[in-house]
């Protein structure tokens, strides 16, 4: 991914500090992306060893969130940034929270792979594999938009969450039908249901990150606004 194309400052030290937190948030994003890919692979193959690797790796994601957040707080206190610099730090601070939540979703997906009862529900896992790969592609593209601070790309990716929501709704209907036909399947179906919900939440978090990119570039908070209003903001 290309580095964020941002303004330079007279202070070389301030430039270095901004470069550092940009690089660290992108590194965190890369780690979370790998966690998601491995969690989905573990679920698809019911690979308990790989699932445990994802679960154990979550502490790295948590540690990166705390360290980056502390650095953002330090920069605000020391540099008292304004305008676009302040928006950048706010966007990064919010982004790492959503990346950490995606990490939690990865753990939820991985845990479904190690539940013994899930092994009796292998046919159901196929139903969320496509959705999971869709979420992975969305996360990858979202991180790319973040790296380049591309508001237009972020706007297009923002729409992907609605598509993921529709896939999730379809899976819910399928799982409900399965449980009604065979009540004995309920425990295993619930494992799959929670995994599907975790994948859906990845889409929600990517949507949030796209909003932070637009906020940084345009200086406008587009949360809870229609696509029509968002598009107008991008054209201003």
**What is the spatial distance between Cα 79 and Cα 20, in angstroms, rounded to a whole number?**
15
In tens, the pLDDT along 140-166 reads: 999 999 999 999 999 999 989 999 999
Which residue in 15, 6, 26, 25 sits closest to 75, CA to CA? 15
Which residue in 137, 95, 103 sits closest to 31, CA to CA? 103
Give me the architecture of the 12-235 domain, per CATH.
Up-down Bundle (1.20)
Confidence of residue 32 (pLDDT cuts 50, 70, 90): very high
| pLDDT of res. 119 | 56
* Mean model confidence pLDDT for the chain: 88
| pLDDT for residue 123 is more than 80 | no
Q: What is the DSSP string of 119-177?
A: GGGHHHHHHHHHHHHHHHHHHHHHHHHHHHT-HHHHHHHHTHHHHHHHHHHHHHHHHHH
φ/ψ bin of 12: left (φ > 0), alpha (ψ from -120 to 50), beta (otherwise): alpha
| pLDDT of res. 87 | 94
| pLDDT of res. 149 | 94
Q: Helices 48-79 and 83-114 meet at what angle, rounded to 10?
A: 160
Domains of the chain, by residue range, sit at 12-235
Confidence of residue 5 (pLDDT cuts 50, 70, 90): very low
In tens, the pLDDT along 168-180 reads: 999 999 888 888 8
Instruction: Please count the helices (runs of H) and the strands (runs of E) in the chain.
Output: 8, 0
| pLDDT for residue 121 is more than 90 | no
**Of 95-109, 167-181, 200-214, the least confident:** 167-181
């Amino acid at each position: 991914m290309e580095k964020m194309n941002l303004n330079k400052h007279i202070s070389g030290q301030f430039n270095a500090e901004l470069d550092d937190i940009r690089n660290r948030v992108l590194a965190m994003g890369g780690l979370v992306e790998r966690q998601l890919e491995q969690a989905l692979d573990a679920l698809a193959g019911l690979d308990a060893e790989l699932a445990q690797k994802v679960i154990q790796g979550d502490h790295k994601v948590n540690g990166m969130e705390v360290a980056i957040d502390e650095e953002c707080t330090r920069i605000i206190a020391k540099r008292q940034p304004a305008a676009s610099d302040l928006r950048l730090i706010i966007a990064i601070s919010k982004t790492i929270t959503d990346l950490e939540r995606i990490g939690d979703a990865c753990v939820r997906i991985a845990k479904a792979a190690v539940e013994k009862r899930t092994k009796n529900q292998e046919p159901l896992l196929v139903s969320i594999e496509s959705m999971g790969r869709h979420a992975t592609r969305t996360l990858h593209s979202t991180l790319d938009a973040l790296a380049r601070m591309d508001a237009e790309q972020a706007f297009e990716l923002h729409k992907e969450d609605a598509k993921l929501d529709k896939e999730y709704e379809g899976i819910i209907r399928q799982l409900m039908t399965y449980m009604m036909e065979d009540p004995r399947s309920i425990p295993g179906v619930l494992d799959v249901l929670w995994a599907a919900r975790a994948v859906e939440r990845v889409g929600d978090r990517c949507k949030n990150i796209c909003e932070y990119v637009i906020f940084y570039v345009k200086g406008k908070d587009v949360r809870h606004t229609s696509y029509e209003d968002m598009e107008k903001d991008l054209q201003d």
